[in-house]
């Protein structure tokens, strides 16, 4: 029985193909912007990009969040030694804001309104997929956590596979050819049930 597949320099968990998922923001309220041990993982390049576009982003986030960016910087090193987005009150991402009771990303809002070219950190765009980079390969896994229960339920009712829901960020991360290979595998692997 298969549990993962290899595409290029990635090892992909079959959960990416088999699990159903569709974010249900009306139910989860953007909990991924608050939950977790630290901020969202960012690369050095993404931290530099955030710094570059922050002048536009800051208009979308609360003043208290702007104060934290001024104090902490655009990215910080967490207790595991990883580069992450700073938090407000050791809990909420500084780049988040509330809109009609739902937490949203100020970076993404500026992007969607055409003010900046950077959408948001790839770790946020891919969530609940998590990528662990090793020397010779990337491990591409599904992180099943409680806050995403509404997304799992919504995905099941819509019969939407996780890899289809996350087509855009997976393509952004690994390219169209890689994504096409993932689709081919999904459509041709024997059923694991």
Q: What is the pLDDT along the chain (193 residues), one digit of tens a residue?
A: 568 899 999 999 999 999 999 999 999 999 999 987 899 999 999 999 999 999 999 999 999 999 999 999 999 999 999 999 999 998 999 999 999 999 999 999 999 999 999 999 999 999 999 999 999 999 999 999 999 999 999 999 999 999 999 999 999 999 999 999 999 999 998 764 4
- Return the pLDDT at 58: 97
Sorted by sequence, the CB contacts under 8 Å of residue 119 that are 6+ apart come out as 107, 108, 111, 125, 172
Sequence ranges of the domains in the chain? 1-21+128-193, 28-124
On whether the CB atoms of residues 82 and 41 are closer than 8 A, the answer is yes
Six-digit token string for 75: 């990215």
**Residue listed under structure tokens 């990635």:** 10
The dihedral over CA atoms of 60, 94, 152, 102, expressed in degrees to the nearest 10, equals: -40
Full-model pTM: 0.91
Phi-psi label, residue 114: left if phi above 0, alpha if psi -120 to 50, beta otherwise: left
- Return the pLDDT at 94: 97
**Residue listed under structure tokens 């029985």:** 1
Question: Whole-angstrom Cα distance, residue 28 to residue 90?
Answer: 20
């Amino acid at each position: 029985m298969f549990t993962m597949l290899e595409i290029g320099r990635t090892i992909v968990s079959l959960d990416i193909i088999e699990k159903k998922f569709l974010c249900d923001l009306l139910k989860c309220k953007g909990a991924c912007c608050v939950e977790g041990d630290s901020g969202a993982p960012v690369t050095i390049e993404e931290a530099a990009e955030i710094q570059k576009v922050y002048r536009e982003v800051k208009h979308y986030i609360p003043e208290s969040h702007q104060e934290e960016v001024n104090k902490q910087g655009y990215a910080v090193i967490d207790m595991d030694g990883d580069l992450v987005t700073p938090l407000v009150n050791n809990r909420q991402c500084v780049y988040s804001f509330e809109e009609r009771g739902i937490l949203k990303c100020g970076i993404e809002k500026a992007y969607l309104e055409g003010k900046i070219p950077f959408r948001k950190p790839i770790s946020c765009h891919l969530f609940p997929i998590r990528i662990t980079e090793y020397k010779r390969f990337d491990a591409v896994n599904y992180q099943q956590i409680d806050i995403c229960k509404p997304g799992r339920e919504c995905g099941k009712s819509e019969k939407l596979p996780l890899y289809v829901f996350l087509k855009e960020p997976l393509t952004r991360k690994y390219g169209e050819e890689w994504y096409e290979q993932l689709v081919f595998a999904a459509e041709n692997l024997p059923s694991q049930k």
